[in-house]
Chains A and B, each alone.
Chain A
Amino acid sequence: MEPAIRAEGLYKRYGDHEALRGVDVTVPAGEVFGVLGPNGAGKTTTVRILSTLLVPDGGQAFVSGHDVVRDPRAVRRAIGLAGQYAAVDEKLTGRENLRLIGTLYRMGRRTAKARADELLERFSLRDAANRVVKTYSGGMRRRLDLAVSIIAEPAVMFLDEPTTGLDLTSRLALWEMIREQVARGATVLLTTQYLEEADQLADRIAVIDGGRVIAEGTPDELKAKVGGEQLEVTVAHHRDVPAVTALLGRLVVAPPTTSADGLTVSVPLHDGFGGVADAAAALRPLGAAVTDFGTRRPSLDDVFLALTGTTATPERTTP
Chain B
Amino acid sequence: MTTITSTPLVPVAPPALAGAASDTAALFARHVRHIARTPEKLLGVTLMPVAYVVIFGVLFGAAIALPGGSSYGEYLMAGIFTQTMLSTVSSTALGVADDLGNGLVDRFRSLPMSQGAVLLARTASNLVLSLVSITVMALVGLLIGWRVSAGAAAALGAVGLLLLFGFAMSWLGALIGLVVRGAEAISAVAFLIVMPLTFLSNAFIPLNGLPAWLRAVCEWNPISSVVAACRELFGNPAPAGDSFPAAHPIPMAVALTLAVLLVTAPLAVRAYRSAVAR
Contacts and interface: CB of A to CB of B under 8 A. Distances in A.
Contacts of B9: 105, 107, 111, 115, 151-153
Contact of B109 (A1, A52, A88, A107): A52
A186 interface: yes
Given A106-B11, A185-B5, A53 B111 contact: no
A53 B110 contact: yes
Interface residues of A, number: 44
A104 B110 CA distance: 11
Interface in B103-126: 103-104, 106-113
Contacts of A111: 9
Contacts of A88: 104, 107
Interface stretch (B32-40, B59-67, B187-195, B225-233): B32-40
Contacts of A103: 22-23, 26
Contact of A186 (B4, B14, B19, B110): B4
Contacts of A115: 9
Interface in A1-57: 1, 29-30, 48, 51-55
A101 B37 contact: no
A155 B103 contact: no
Interface stretch (A90-98, A189-197, A260-268, A279-287): A90-98
A1 B10 contact: no
B152 interface: no
Interface in B1-59: 1-6, 8-12, 14, 19, 22-23, 26-27, 30, 33-34, 37-38
A153 B8 contact: yes
A111 B11 CA distance: 12
A184 B6 contact: yes
A77 B33 contact: no
Given A115-B9, A155-B4, A148 B109 contact: no
Contact of B102 (A48, A52, A87, A183): A87
B112 A77 contact: yes
A61 interface: no
Contact of B4 (A48, A106, A132, A184): A184
A87 B104 contact: yes
Given A104-B23, A132-B37, A30 B2 contact: yes
B277 A53 contact: yes
B14 A106 contact: yes
Nearest to B110: A81
B1 A104 contact: no
Contacts of A106: 10-11, 14, 19, 22-23, 112-113
Contacts of B102: 87, 90
B11 to A, nearest CB: 6
B110 A73 contact: no
B104 A89 contact: yes
Given A54-B277, A100-B26, A87 B103 contact: yes
B1 A53 contact: no
A88 B4 CA distance: 28
B184 to A, nearest CB: 20
B168 to A, nearest CB: 26
Interface of A: 1, 29-30, 48, 51-55, 73, 76-77, 79, 81, 83, 85-92, 96, 100-101, 103-107, 111, 115, 132, 148, 151-155, 183-186
Closest 10 pairs between A and B when the two form their complex, measured CB to CB:
A87-B103, A185-B4, A87-B107, A76-B112, A77-B112, A81-B110, A103-B26, A185-B2, A104-B113, A107-B9
5 contacts: A53-B109, A53-B277, A83-B107, A91-B38, A185-B4
